[in-house]
Structure 1
Amino acid sequence: MGINLLPIEIDEIRKRLRREPNEAEWKVIDAVWSEHCSYKSSKIFLKSFYMEGPNVIMGIKDWQDAGAVDIGDGWAIVVKVESHNHPSAIDPFNGAATGVGGIIRDVISKGAKPIALLDMIRVGDLTLSKNRWLLKNIIAGIGFYGNSIGVPVVGGELAFDEMYNDNPLVDVACIGVVRRDKIVPSVVNKPGLKLVLAGLTGIDGLGGASFASRKLSGEDEIGAVQIADPFAGKIILDATLEIADKVEAIKDLGGGGLAVAVTEMANGLGVIVDIEKIPLRVKEMNPIDIIISETQERMLYAVKEERVNEICKTFEQYEYPCSVIGEITGDKTIRFRYNGKEIVSLPSELLLNPPRFLWSIKKKKKELKKYISSSDIELEKALHSVLSHPDLVSKEWAYSQFDYEVNTSTVIKPGEADSSVILLPNGKLLAVKGDANPDLCDEDAYECGKGIFAEAYRNLASVGAKGIVAVDHLQFGDPKKPEVYYSFLEAIRGIGEASRFFNIPIVGGKVSFYNENSKGKEIKPTPLIVMAGLVKDKFLRNKVEENSYIVLIGYTRGELAGSLLSKIFGISSEVPKARLQEDIIASELVIDSINNEKIIFAKDINRGGLAFALFRMMTYGYGVHINTRDILSDTDNIIDVLFSENGGRFIVLTNDPQWIIDKAKSKGIVASVIGKVNKDSGVLSLNEIKINLSNLINYYFNFLEEVMKNG
């Protein structure tokens, strides 16, 4: 049958139906019950997230295409995150481009105008030509779609690990804005509505949901990858926003195609679809392929009968296909007919209620390998090894391929600070950031779940914003492997605890399992948090000035497990604990300092530790001198002090350090002056030691462009 169902599921289907499904019905069930669409191994746990709050309009419990929160003045923002990992491994250009197209359609399905994209990308070792080819085409695909459709890519992440050699991760998030009273649901609650489909259906993307719900086989599965057409996507965007207030519900045709879209839109009611009425890109398509095709740039609308002509007339003006293909019924049965013959007849209840799986769990055992002590590492070697790591270099090579200033709403551009800032229609400023830390999650997924949530919160604070909403993406290997499932559950526990502590609701997200390389080795656990927040009063655009004081906010701990230093050298150390109280208080101090115009530069300390935060200042063309003896820490080892990545800390530049120190004391946290900026460009002075890092600064700016010339 070519389906991806487990034997226990096949038996369950026959038992519930009391008959043998035909081929078309097996394909429909396979799509709707796929892990990609049904969340059958995860849904029960996602309900444990904090997802309430006075500003939440739509969230996880509503199972809409995207989440929405109120931002005041009658406006709301819509947030969604998705991935296109498997497609990007096979066809990186179209895989990444259609990931952008899909996330944009999720946002416009709420009646919201997309205003910003973020891309979070992880690929393998750049010394391998295949990984350079993957990265080059992933970036090109994202730029092609975003630039063509006029939605700016304002930020993201780009990181490298050999674990992603055969299975790159391509995450895309989208932010949209809409008047609160204009938000459109994705589901209906009454029969009699007509189903209107816009767009052409083709043979690309066949079985894509099933493909995304199994391991990459290494065989050519190019047919499961959709083809991107951003110019058609722009028509869908413009026309959908034009008719949004004239329809009852909007659904993007994504994973599982029509099979999933009509089932989810009906929300337990029934549907009847006449397949021959569906506009086709390819003549004489197999009816079953029409049902499960995942061709892009298509949308489904539930419309009152008297408004059907008005809706299709809008698309006629764009010369874009539009057809009434069926209607919502009250018989709670999903039906597909072809030239009057019924080829699918399945209960909605069956399709919407797949078995829920709870797999075995087992804590991962530490690998028995030789570790070294951080005190055995020579200082200059540590600096050069960490600061030259590809994760830390400038990502301008990637950002330069994106039109991040289209619509002129980008206030802080990608790479300028820890978060990007965009101007909203109500005049408010919104900061956005995506964060993950696979190395830490590989050590302790629970602490990592808390840590990445806290890091996103600090990143927003560094530009003057307070987080108000988050979405998550949980990316793991095969959930049937006990160690994988254990990490998954621990990450959920950590993220949920942090979201409740910060009082920031998680309004949506995605789960992506079966991320493994060609040898069957799963990726490192890679949960991701995308957070958005409003600038409280003023925002900070970083600058560096000679003679400004360097102040370290927060306490440094010699916890190096999961750090970049440990990854490079193999250090035995403790996992950094997420002390969320320190994160929130330090963030409040930074926001207060920005609003009182007391600082000119702020960076939270995370990847690369204090060493990279200082180095980032130096990329502005200055030198820095610090006295490590002035750093408040539980260790006097200079390596630990420089490269620990424990949270709750910021580096800021100020001309009034006492104000910050006094303010920190009043809040119950520590802050100390640890040095000053000087004009000795490229020189890092540590106590009495001077280290020239000029070559590393050149490397920082040029590495990616140079290495990708051979891509």
Structure 2
Amino acid sequence: MGLTSDEVKAIINALGRNPTKAEWLVFEAEWSEHCSYKSSKAWIRQLPSKSPLVVRGPGLDAPIIRVNNVAITFKIESHNHPSAVDPYDGAATGVGGIVRDILTTGLRPIALLDNLHLGDLNNQRSLWLSRNIVKGISDYGNRIGVPVVGGETWFDESFNNNPIVLVTCVGVGDFNRVVWGEGKVGDLVLVIGNDTGRDGMLGSSFASRELGNNDDVGSVQVGNPLLEKLLIDALIELNEKGLVKAIKDVGGGGLATALSELAHQLGLGIEVDLTNIRLRDELEPEEILISESQERMVIVVDPNMLSEVEAVLRKFELGFDLVGRLTGDGRFTAYYRGVRLIDLPLNLITSPPEPIRNYTEPDYLMKLSKIPPLPNVKFNEALVKVVSSPNIASKEVIYTQYDHEVGVRTVIKPGRAGATVLRLLEDDGGGGKLGIAIKADSNPRYSYLNPFTGAANSLAKAYRNVASVGAKPIAAVDSINVGNPEKPDRYWYFVKSVEGLTWMGNSLGIPFVGGKVSFYNEDSVTGASIKPVVAVAVLGIISDYTKVVEGGLTGGWLVVIGETEPELGGSEFLHVVHGLVAGDPPKPKPLDEKKRAGLIMRLINDGLTRSVMDVGVGGLAVTLIKMAVMGNVGFTVDLSKAPLTQGLSDPVTVAFSETNARYVIETSNLREAVGIISASGVPYGVLGESRGRMVQFKLGSLELASISVDDLININNSLRGVL
């Protein structure tokens, strides 16, 4: 039943009897990796999670951050196994689930981001998965009225059969209207929204094992976005009227976990009658308990307010079931047609044993630690190959399928800068121009070669993205996706990733307010595991969103901030041009990241930048080309003007090194901008100017490459017609 022999013994010993069938299913759901985090709790507790702005950190469905009178919440979730079996419904219900996590706070969901890690598009199954994943996200997000405003897409053959589908949601509202979650003995428990069917049976258990040839599509939930839209509006109105005391999403594990976790969080007990649950299929009582049918929420209400609650739900034509009440006995008790099916202590349900797992570095990494001698390559040929790589190419073909403007909050739209910027229309108590920036990043190649460095760099990259639009990074959420934790070399990737995030978070002063761990992302038939995905979404605050800048060139001087080092390990250049995944990824630079992000924010706030982008995958050359394509403006730059570490002169390395803590700014006030940069002590170089319709790279008087902006746009659109 998905439980180990030791877990079975622990349950029987604790109860002093054999559980009923329904009770076994409660334990299977709640003690799964997906719900319990039993193999990861001990490690993720190390992550920094506190700051003056964090009112509620990790541990519940969604955190709370306070800025002036505005409450902000954001959460990241994975839906990997479902998307591998049924990509359309798997990805769509990933959107629905993360939105409902946000709704548990009583705040309104205002934005979605999707981080997709897809396989080789020349592989027909991978292409089918990719197209349907994008369509599932598009259809669900567009229909619920929550814009998909950003994200990232990464392609690698290790995701051919095991795509990693991550969705982040942001919610905002009046801090005084946050639903903190409270209740007392006698309060009523309702299940609202969808009726219960056969879809998603024990999806939490399905997500807590390796994929195989016999995986059942019935483990995947089927979404109803139009019903979710009604659920959003109804919960917001219930909260505005003060009619709801606690809200819980019915997600992984179904009612088995939702009801038990809710009562445990309230420090109470719960008694329910499953006979009262509305069904759309003929189900056994145990199936009612573990169904993961979507668009359902559990709410707690005062008995004296029940008629008003029912009136709101009927207004939105939402079904609801009065299933039980809160008790003071600390137990989960459930009946069906007068028969008691469950009588369990909540402390036992929610406290699975935490296994001590061994971990060891994989042997193969030693062979990959050094980059072999590389043959010479022409600069212009390397440039075209890197720019046309799927990981570098424009993702316009994806994000144009999403409605990113519904809600009229989007200040910087997808594809226009390193991060998305949203205005907060609520009264923020500070002048009304408060905005937020958000971006999520990962680099599976870095994490494969060095998980500590890869995780640290994921945070650093998202941190730079947010700073590059003029926002101050204030919080992060993470999603760690690896293979089978029972295998020491797979579990090693998880442990080192957490250590990297912990170190970088402490160094940057960024709290992790939530996250997700997804294990078993591998094929039980072939034994193939994914490259580890450590995605980090960073939230930033902008005091005046009218001052933010985009990334497209407009015409001005180009200045690179930060020195370039010979760091081609794990680079896109090495992979695309030489077919290698080797070397050590760029070393993290937390002190430099903090100092240079502060400098960028000052330059933007002082109005001294026309455009800004951080340097990331593909290096300095790709950053400049992205800026040219965004702005439809060319440039002439001299790579010898970039600040370089001693002895570095190879133009290919200068162009494609992925050294951290660097930015490119465009300014029309070079003298004043350079004066501020010089005074900061940060290395910089004036590369040249942006103008015209040609892109030129030079090394002193030597021309390295010259290509028209129009040709670059065509090269950069290599995914068009594919996805």
Partner in structure 2 of residue 130 of structure 1: 125
Listed as ranges, the matches of 1:285-434 within 5 Å are 285-365=283-363, 366=365, 368=367, 371-374=371-374, 376-425=376-425, 426=428, 427=432, 428-434=434-440
Bigger drift between 150-159 and 380-389 goes to 380-389
- Alignment CA distance shift 1:631-1:399 (3 Å): same
Mapped pair 1:640 → 2:640: no
Distance 1:685 1:617 in 2: 17
Displacement, 1:371?
4.7
Mapped pair 1:486 → 2:502: no
TM (norm. structure 1) is 0.96
Displacement, 1:21?
1.4
> Match of 1:558, as an amino acid?
P
Bigger drift between 266-275 and 471-480 goes to 266-275
Listed as ranges, the matches of 1:234-253 within 5 Å are 234-244=229-239, 245-253=242-250
Displacement, 1:367?
5.7
Partner in structure 2 of residue 697 of structure 1: 712
Mapped pair 1:512 → 2:518: yes
- Alignment CA distance shift 1:132-1:663 (3 Å): same
Listed as ranges, the matches of 1:513-532 within 5 Å are 513-517=519-523, 518-532=525-539
Q: 1:661 aligns with which of 671, 674, 678?
A: 674
Partner in structure 2 of residue 22 of structure 1: 20
- Alignment CA distance shift 1:335-1:171 (3 Å): same
Bigger drift between 612-621 and 423-432 goes to 612-621
CA-to-partner distance for each residue in 1:336-395, whole Å, 9 max, x for gaps?
110110011111111011001221111223263795335633323321221111011111
The secondary structure found in structure 2 opposite 1:707 is coil
- Alignment CA distance shift 1:189-1:247 (3 Å): closer
Listed as ranges, the matches of 1:420-499 within 5 Å are 420-425=420-425, 426=428, 427=432, 428-499=434-505
Partner in structure 1 of residue 683 of structure 2: 670
Bigger drift between 651-660 and 633-642 goes to 651-660
Displacement, 1:654?
1.4
Mapped pair 1:564 → 2:540: no
The secondary structure found in structure 2 opposite 1:368 is helix
Partner in structure 1 of residue 212 of structure 2: 217
Mapped pair 1:193 → 2:187: yes
Q: 1:549 aligns with which of 529, 543, 557?
A: 557
RMSD of the alignment, in Å?
1.7
CA contact (8 A) 2:101 2:249 kept: yes
> Match of 2:554, as an amino acid?
E
Partner in structure 2 of residue 621 of structure 1: 632
Distance 1:665 1:679 in 2: 29
Displacement, 1:401?
0.9
> Match of 1:689, as an amino acid?
E
CA contact (8 A) 1:684 1:693 kept: no
Mapped pair 1:231 → 2:222: no
Distance 1:679 1:375 in 2: 34
Bigger drift between 627-636 and 321-330 goes to 627-636
Mapped pair 1:39 → 2:37: yes
CA-to-partner distance for each residue in 1:555-612, whole Å, 9 max, x for gaps?
1111121211222322764431111111111111111111111111111001100110
CA contact (8 A) 1:271 1:332 kept: yes
CA contact (8 A) 1:253 1:300 kept: yes
CA contact (8 A) 1:119 1:155 kept: yes
The sequence identity of aligned pairs, in percent, is 38
> Match of 1:195, as an amino acid?
V
Distance 1:119 1:380 in 2: 33
Distance 1:313 1:455 in 2: 48
Bigger drift between 605-614 and 374-383 goes to 374-383
The secondary structure found in structure 2 opposite 1:361 is coil
CA contact (8 A) 2:331 2:346 kept: yes
CA contact (8 A) 2:162 2:522 kept: yes
Distance 2:113 2:719 in 1: 19
CA contact (8 A) 2:452 2:496 kept: yes
Partner in structure 1 of residue 618 of structure 2: 608
- Alignment CA distance shift 1:519-1:14 (3 Å): same
The secondary structure found in structure 2 opposite 1:197 is strand
CA contact (8 A) 1:205 1:294 kept: yes
Distance 2:189 2:134 in 1: 36
The secondary structure found in structure 2 opposite 1:705 is coil
CA contact (8 A) 1:257 1:292 kept: yes
- For structure 2, list consecutive stretches of 5 or more residues without a partner in the other structure: none
CA contact (8 A) 2:551 2:627 kept: no
Mapped pair 1:172 → 2:167: yes
CA-to-partner distance for each residue in 1:409-443, whole Å, 9 max, x for gaps?
10100111000101102331111100111111111
CA-to-partner distance for each residue in 1:70-93, whole Å, 9 max, x for gaps?
011x11111111011111111111
CA contact (8 A) 2:56 2:65 kept: yes
